[in-house]
Amino acid sequence: MGTVGHLGDAKALQAILERARDAFISLDAAGTIRAWNAAAERLFGWPAEEAVGRRVTDLLAPPSLRARYGEGLAYLLEHGPAVLPDHRLELTVTDRGGREFPIEMALQVDDEHGAPAIHAFVHDISERHAARRQLEEERTFLQTLLDSLQVGVMACDTDGRLTLVNQAARQLHRFPAESAAEDLHGPHSRHLFAPDGRTPLRPEQTPLARAFAGEQIEGQHLVIRPPGAGTRRCVVNSRPIATPDGRRLGAVSALHDITDQHRAQVLRDAQHAVAQVLAEAAGSEQVSAGVLTAVVRALDWSYGEYWQIGSTQNHLTCVGSWGRPGLSFTCDPEMRVQPGQGLAGLVWATGRATWISDLGADPRPFARRQDALRAGLRTAVALPVRSGDQVLGVLIFCSDAVQEPDDDLVAMLDGVCAHVGRYLERRRAEELALALAASRRHFDQVVSQIDDNVWTIEILPDGRTRSVYQSQRAAGIFGDPVPDDSDISGLLLQQIHPDDREAYTAFDSRVRSGENAQIECRFVGLDGVVRWIWIRSTPRREGGRLFADGISTDVTEHHRLAEEHDRMKDELVALVSHELRNPIGAIRGYVEMLVDTPGLTETQRTFAGIIDRTSAHLLRLVDDLLDLARLDAGHITIDPRPISLTRLVRQAVDDHRAAAESGHLDLVADLDLQLPVNADPLRLRQVLDNLLSNAIKYTPEGGAVTVGIGADEEGEGTAVVTVADTGIGIPPEQYPLLFTRFFRASTAQEAGIKGTGLGLAITKAIVEAHGGVITAAPREGGGTVLTVRLPASLPSAASPAG
């Protein structure tokens, strides 16, 4: 410990100190007052006779002293004044009147006589504290005032250290709220860039550093890019600070944040440039190139490209790109990307904008990442170009600086994309309208060359119809030209032949309900001529609206020829049948006599057998033709009687089993149910023979023919016979023709199976003569099912068919 020398006894010391101007207090090791001069008495209000011998903490109650160093100043006595900076202590004490005020104590230690003591010279520093408080208040006021400004303010002192940074400047530079003083060339200067936003400023180029060097700066543009924050643009005014006599005190800078104004101006410039491009562009390719150029230049970025959805709607194609001069990066027009592939495909798939701040660090896909990095590109922004909810393409813009996501910039670019999307949609609509007009002209030219009347109507929600399209051939249907404003549907209803009105009404109802429909019916033309018209209608829905497209064909001549053909065919059948039956009968008679002649060789008998079988086949064919002619003429008679349908079917199956076995077929009969019917047994057996022979003939080896009988669940008293095969089947569209005369399915012709096409026509006529119905349908798993439904009873007396 240090020492101040021996001060003598208490009385001598007290006499010396009485003349001192400063208050003096001497304490022993226990903190008891040993000396107390007149200045101390005046300062604290305690006379020396009351103060000496008392503990100083009891007398002055300095709470800061107790809190800092402990009761009785034991800490000071133990370690000496060295524990205090400059051997001085500032604390608050209480005088005799209870007034608290600050004092400063200069401390010395006396320990020469083995009795350590502390001597303190005390000064009242209330005025100094008041001045200090006033200075702090002024500083606080100044800081509060500066913090309330929208303008950023920064100042440095004569040592070049930042001494003042207001709230606006802290926000611009992202300084912490409680930041230590920083050199004006400190880290914040590395966030400053030239107006192009790409060129970093060296520390000595910053406005505050230049002002500190004595330069006065007005209106310098500056870009601030603090890490983890958006880019800001400022206008800076800086000047040095000096006293009136020219002594340099530091420098100050005022930063006006013009980010929003600049962005708004960029937006206006970009929108103006885009609008000009859209107004002058002659096609989509010019639009993409012009928009890319305008936006990239307005943003002062480096590169842009446009990807458009291909005609097949399954890939994107790069249709345009633009880069600043010298940039070694572009897009290949042959490149294709699928949804979700690369940056463009990702935006297409998600329909959302994507911002990649740093291509070198971001894990998201970018098909040409390495090429872009080598070209100096760092940030990429991709946005969808829309028309409503539909994505038409993707715009991508790239910068050569790392930039954090900027919502305002994305919003601006999204607005540009909306402009482009509306233009492209409008352009596409115009192109489609031109193409539609050309197609319409071509369609009209084609339709005008055909004799059919082509039409389209709209079926309104209330069931009424509205003519949408009508070809120029309506006169061919109605005999005379039809006025343009005519209601074709109403005209057809008005001119329908009375005998066909019911059928046409049902057809019209199907058309109005949105079903496929067709009809052949007669119309009385406007010229009074009756014509047969074949009308086909197909429904079509567009945007919730129902349309019907149709074709009307005059088939009057076809009907006339068909009637003439049927008449001639009937005459020919009747003539041929009658002319052939007698000669064939004679041939069969002579063949029977020939076979009975003794002495025929085996070869001769074989030839005679062939003649007999062939003539028998011809005779059956003639009988079929005669039967068909009689049925058509209504001359065939049915002789019904009570018979067992089950027994008749079983006999037919047994008679055809040999033919089935020779063809390696399974012939299965489910005949457990006994069904009596009133029917002509000969004619009904003819029906069963036709069905079984057809099923066996058209079923390949290894197949099966199944015969079943039962009662119809839908019609009481109706017997049902089914013959199902696993044969070659019939095309679905040919079923309606199956029971017409001379018809043979295409599958039978392709398989080379011979036949006349008369058997099922005769079968149908016989079944209908019994009051029954025969139908054909595909069998599940392949083949055909023919079903005969017969009433359980017929009139007892024989009656002519038809």
Which one, of 616, 612, 639, 636, lies nearest residue 626 by Cα?
Answer: 636
Instruction: Please check whether residue 2 lies inside any domain of the structure.
Output: no
Instruction: Please check whether residue 3 lies inside any domain of the structure.
Output: no
Chain centre distance of CA 799:
72
Instruction: Please check whether residue 268 lies inside any domain of the structure.
Output: yes
Residues 379 and 407 in one domain: yes
Three-state SS at 647 = helix
Q: What 8-state DSSP symbol labels residue 487? A: -
Taking residue 429's Cβ as centre, other Cβ atoms within 10 Å add up to: 12
Residue 724: the pLDDT is 92
Beta strands in 13-114 (DSSP E): 23-28, 33-36, 88-94, 100-110
Give the span between the Cα atoms of 115 and 343, in whole angstroms. 86
CATH number reported for the structural domain that contains residue 577 in this entry: 1.10.287
Three-state SS at 609 = helix
Residue 416: the pLDDT is 80
Q: At what angle do helices 645-662 and 681-697 cross, to 10 degrees?
A: 30
3 exposed, middle or buried (CB, 10 Å; 0-12, 13-18, 19+)? exposed
Residue 236: the pLDDT is 93
Residue 411: the pLDDT is 82
- What one-letter code names the amino acid at 112? E
Residues 396 and 492 in one domain: no
Residues 581 and 718 in one domain: no
CATH number reported for the structural domain that contains residue 465 in this entry: 3.30.450.20
Three-state SS at 599 = coil
Instruction: Please check whether residue 430 lies inside any domain of the structure.
Output: no
Q: Which residues contact 436 (CB under 8 A, 6 or more apart)?
A: none
Residue 707: the pLDDT is 92
Give the span between the Cα atoms of 434 and 445, in whole angstroms. 17
Which residue do the tokens 């410039």 mark?
A: 269
The whole domain housing 230 covers: 143-257
- Is there a contact between 460 and 545 (Cβ–Cβ < 8 Å)? no
The total number of structural domains that make up the chain:
6
Instruction: Please check whether residue 435 lies inside any domain of the structure.
Output: no
Domain stop point among 233, 257, 281 = 257
- The low-confidence residues of the chain, meaning pLDDT below 50, are 1-8, 66-67, 69-72, 180, 794-802
Domain stop point among 202, 237, 257 = 257
- Is there a contact between 308 and 284 (Cβ–Cβ < 8 Å)? yes
Residues 269 and 415 in one domain: yes
Q: Which residues contact 273 (CB under 8 A, 6 or more apart)?
A: 294, 295, 297, 298
- Is there a contact between 225 and 379 (Cβ–Cβ < 8 Å)? no
Residues 165 and 245 in one domain: yes
Residues 245 and 270 in one domain: no
Taking residue 144's Cβ as centre, other Cβ atoms within 10 Å add up to: 11
- Is there a contact between 354 and 396 (Cβ–Cβ < 8 Å)? no
Q: Which residues contact 305 (CB under 8 A, 6 or more apart)?
A: 292, 318, 320, 321, 322, 330, 331, 395, 396
Q: What share of the chain is helix, strand, coil (3-state, %, to 5)?
A: 45, 25, 30
Residues 318 and 358 in one domain: yes
DSSP string, 251-312: EEEEEEE-HHHHHHHHHHHHHHHHHHHHHH--SHHHHHHHHHHHHHHHHT-SEEEEEEE-TT
- φ, ψ at 93 (rounded to 5°): -125, 170
pTM of the entire predicted model: 0.41
Which residue do the tokens 């050309």 mark?
A: 438
Residues 268 and 417 in one domain: yes
Instruction: Please check whether residue 168 lies inside any domain of the structure.
Output: yes
Could you tell me where the DSSP H helices lie in 23-148? 38-44, 48-51, 56-60, 63-69, 74-79, 126-148
Domain stop point among 602, 633, 664 = 633
Residues 579 and 470 in one domain: no
**How many residues make up the chain in this entry?**
802
Residues 307 and 197 in one domain: no
Instruction: Please check whether residue 116 lies inside any domain of the structure.
Output: yes
Residues 208 and 315 in one domain: no
Instruction: Please check whether residue 528 lies inside any domain of the structure.
Output: yes
CATH number reported for the structural domain that contains residue 678 in this entry: 3.30.565.10
Residues 274 and 244 in one domain: no
CATH number reported for the structural domain that contains residue 323 in this entry: 3.30.450.40
Taking residue 171's Cβ as centre, other Cβ atoms within 10 Å add up to: 14
